[in-house]
Amino acid sequence: MITYSLQGQNALVTGADSGIGKGVALELAKAGARVLINHVDAQEIAQLTVDEIAAAGGEAFEFHADVSNEAEVQAMYAEMFKRWGTIDILVNNAGLQRDSRLVDMTLEQWQTVININLTGQFLCAREAAREFIRRGVVEKRSKAAGKIICMSSVHEVIPWGGHVNYATSKGGVMMMMKSMAQELAPHKIRVVSIGPGAIQTPINHGAWGTPESLNKLLTLIPYNRIGQPEDIGRLAAWLASDEADYITGTTIFMDGGMTLYPGFADNG
């Protein structure tokens, strides 16, 4: 049983039709929040999440917006404010990989990842912060004027050859999150990141899709299991709640120990 409530709060989760975003949306709804399910060209799949939330007595709607497109992001916020008036929680989750060795990486692969994983988080956070500052704290809803949760990765600290664009985007998210947190704290806005390790979603199917690949992956995870979207969902819902009211400007890693340098466990 959860001991906190997000009742009366409005949340936006980007990339919420799949994987971690879907897991986060379901947990936020379970805690009582209304949830905007953002997707890009996945209307029917996003609607399934909306229906699942509605079937459990919650409220949600889906909206197409490419998070790297300023006009589409602003249109999404306009629709949210038209329906629900304001926003309390942003989960900046949308992201992707375009993997390549550095010497073969195209400018298009580099820019796609930076545009969606980093610029997309900036655009969504800026719109949320504008509204949080305009509206301020609403005492009966939350101690904070707003909460921004950025989906980072263990790769904000673990370098990742073959994925230079992705690791760079997450390193950027770390410094963006910290700088936003510093700037926004006087407005009673909290900004935090979640750093997932290996979570079983479509983005990394190649890493767990066969018994051989899963066994290889598990050598990197001291806790010896792959994570699930609901693991991250529960953390996101708690971080959005007043139980986490004094947490801002930091990354909470949820990775089964992946950041513990497991290669050194037997003396390196």
Which residues of the chain form contacts with ligand NAD (CB under 6 A)? 14-15, 17-21, 38-40, 42, 66-68, 93-96, 116, 151, 153, 196, 198-199, 201-204
Specify burial of residue 161 (Cβ count, 10 A radius: 0-12, 13-18, 19+): exposed
Closest CA to 148 of 187, 113, 200: 187
Those residues whose C-beta lies under 8 Å from the C-beta of residue 144, and which sit 6 or more positions away, are 137, 188, 189, 190, 242, 245
Closest CA to 35 of 73, 116, 93, 90: 90
- Helix (H/G/I), strand (E/B), else coil: 247: coil
* Least distance CB 172 / ligand NAD (angstroms): 12
* Least distance CB 206 / ligand NAD (angstroms): 11
42 versus 189: smaller Cβ distance to ligand NAD: 42
* Residue 166 designated active-site: yes
87 versus 198: smaller Cβ distance to ligand NAD: 198
* Least distance CB 169 / ligand NAD (angstroms): 8
119 versus 241: smaller Cβ distance to ligand NAD: 119
Q: Which of 166, 223, 246, 261 is catalytic?
A: 166
145 versus 149: smaller Cβ distance to ligand NAD: 149
* Least distance CB 41 / ligand NAD (angstroms): 8
What is the number of alpha carbons within 13 Å of residue 197 lying toward its C-beta?
Answer: 24
Question: Would you name the residues annotated as active-site residues?
Answer: 166
